[in-house]
Amino acid sequence: MSRAGRETLAWTRRHLLGLEDLSAEELTAVLDTARGFSEISTRSIRKVPTLRGRVVANLFYEDSTRTRLSFSLAAQRLSADVLSFTKSGSSTSKGETLIDTARNIEAMGVDVFVVRHKAPGAPHVLARHLEGSVVNAGDGAHEHPTQALLDCHTIREARGKIEGLHVAIVGDIGHSRVARSNLFALKTLGAKVTLVGPPTLVSGRFRELGAEVSHDLDEVLPEIDVINMLRIQRERQGHLNFPSLVEYSRRFALNEKRMKRAKKDVLVMHPGPLNRGVEITPEVADGPNSVILNQVASGLAVRMAVLFLVTAAKERAQKEQHSTEQAALPSGGAS
């Protein structure tokens, strides 16, 4: 059996809603499939017919630059047709519910819904109401599975492995779906994860999810192989959870002075959007250790892999159901 065939079989889920309950085999199946797809971006014609005739609908109820464009381009590279819904300008302002909107779009013949919503669990609700596959593109502060998968892909391609590495995720952990999904995937793949930030943003309760917790970046920095810097999610905070941004930056920003304490080959990551001068200085964001733009490139390959795998799983399940129904018919069929 081909490698691609084996990866497809290791993946049987119709939806990708989160990473909390994914096995190492499933995570690796996505990363291996993404590795195969990343080659397509180097060709002169950057398109394959894998999802020709299928429709991918992006349902974005929250702002997005990278994730929305990346899913659109990933679907187009696989030759799928793409529908793009954003909340502003839609009938949401006329009172239409999420489920009604999605069902109406599904009636146009949609195979995969990519959903971003401020309510945790919104993609899970849709998965129960729709025939098509649902991919979570960020639900409130809950999960952002494709971001964590692309982060894992970036680390794996740069370092050749994830197991045994020490990854620090720094910043507004309490409000971050990126931190949660990264923690689940990295732990399952054998990395050590330390969550770093002020006590108001990083609760000790994250230890229950298998993370180390630190409130002192300077102390942990010398041991770290990969540092993932997060934005302060002010849109999810009622008020600032620390005295001032200046004070926050003094203790937690990644700047050139701090980088001197880090390993020479530390990988510097950030999911974007960057708040330059708050959590990371321009010199570090654009410096030699930064793989921030590699993350964006990885995102395309990972999203191609996810769209392909969920569609293949759904179509396999439908075929199996069809054969079971055929086998249950009395022999000789209808007269």
Amino acid at position 133, single letter = S
List Cα–Cα distances, 101 to 6, 62, 118, 128, 174, in angstroms.
36, 15, 16, 14, 31
CB of 315 to ligand NCD, least distance (A): 28
Q: Alpha-carbon distance 260 to 187, whole Å? A: 27
Choice from 38, 72, 147, 290 touching ligand NCD (CB under 6 A): 147
Q: Does 67 help bind ligand NCD (rule: CB under 6 A)?
A: yes
Residue where the block lists tokens 């370092």: 159
Nearer to ligand NCD by Cβ, of 8 and 249: the residue is 249
Nearer to ligand NCD by Cβ, of 28 and 67: the residue is 67
Choice from 177, 192, 303, 314 touching ligand NCD (CB under 6 A): 177
Contact 84, 68 (CB under 8 A): yes
**CA atoms within 13 Å, Cβ hemisphere of 102:** 28
Q: Alpha-carbon distance 103 to 106, whole Å? A: 5
CB of 135 to ligand NCD, least distance (A): 13
Q: Does 29 help bind ligand NCD (rule: CB under 6 A)?
A: no
Q: Sort 178 into a burial class: Cβ within 10 Å, 0-12 / 13-18 / 19+.
A: buried
Nearer to ligand NCD by Cβ, of 166 and 231: the residue is 231
Q: What residue number has its CB nearest to ligand NCD?
A: 231
Select from 95, 86, 94, 90 the least CA-distant residue to 58: 86
Nearer to ligand NCD by Cβ, of 303 and 314: the residue is 303
Choice from 68, 142, 144, 166 touching ligand NCD (CB under 6 A): 144
List Cα–Cα distances, 158 to 135, 221, 225, in angstroms.
26, 19, 11
Total site size for ligand NCD, rule CB under 6 A? 11
Strand order in the sheet with 133-139: 81-86, 55-60, 112-117, 133-139
Residues numbered 182 to 241 that lie near ligand NCD (CB under 6 A) are 231, 233
Q: Does 138 help bind ligand NCD (rule: CB under 6 A)?
A: yes
Q: Does 272 help bind ligand NCD (rule: CB under 6 A)?
A: yes
CB of 1 to ligand NCD, least distance (A): 35
Q: Does 271 help bind ligand NCD (rule: CB under 6 A)?
A: yes
In the complex, which residues of this chain contact ligand NCD (CB under 6 A)? 66-67, 138, 144, 147, 177-178, 231, 233, 271-272
